[in-house]
Amino acid sequence: VGVVWIIGSDGSFSILGVGVGGGGTSDEFRIYASEESAGVGASVCVDVQVDGFADIAGMQYSMSWNTDVIEFDEITSLNTDITGFSLANNFGTENTDNGELRVQWNDFNFEGVTLPDETVIYQICFNLVGTAGQSSSVAFTNSPVNQEILNTDTEIDPFMSTDGSVSITGDQPPPSDCD
């Protein structure tokens, strides 16, 4: 069994050739974001969780949100059980002002990582800048980074995801007395 990886200058990976592999957990993998809500001007963190994360050797995807409603603050709570998973090496935050985050991770030892279902792999935190009643999805997208999950059987698993959301509750701040 063998795999030929092509790694782009932006850290993304593509599979050029794959040898014959065994079963795997392709039908079970799922990544999902939590649904959060808070009042105007508050901050919230959305959990990014996985199920069926068994013998995973690489993952990449993008996330997006509405910057008129929520503003990126930080990535936190990185799961240390994912070999080499770090903010500096695996997160493209240079376009978060435009509502875009890139996530790319590879286990270059190709040993794979297995995590229990409902494991939080990181949190993405936002400041709520919209008005009461507004909400934004926190979506897994296929652009600019293609969605891929690679297992140690050198198979690309289906990328199954469930988007999260952030809702702004409560009343608007009182109007200013200044004219």
Q: Mind listing the pLDDT tens digit of every residue in the chain (179 residues)?
A: 334 444 455 554 444 433 333 333 335 899 999 999 999 999 999 999 999 999 999 999 999 999 999 999 999 999 999 999 999 999 999 999 999 999 999 998 889 999 999 999 999 999 999 999 999 999 999 999 999 999 998 888 889 999 999 999 985 544 545 55
Q: Which residues of 22-34 are buried (b: 16+ CB within 10 A; e: fewer)?
A: eebbbeebbbbbb
Q: Look up the pTM and report it.
A: 0.80
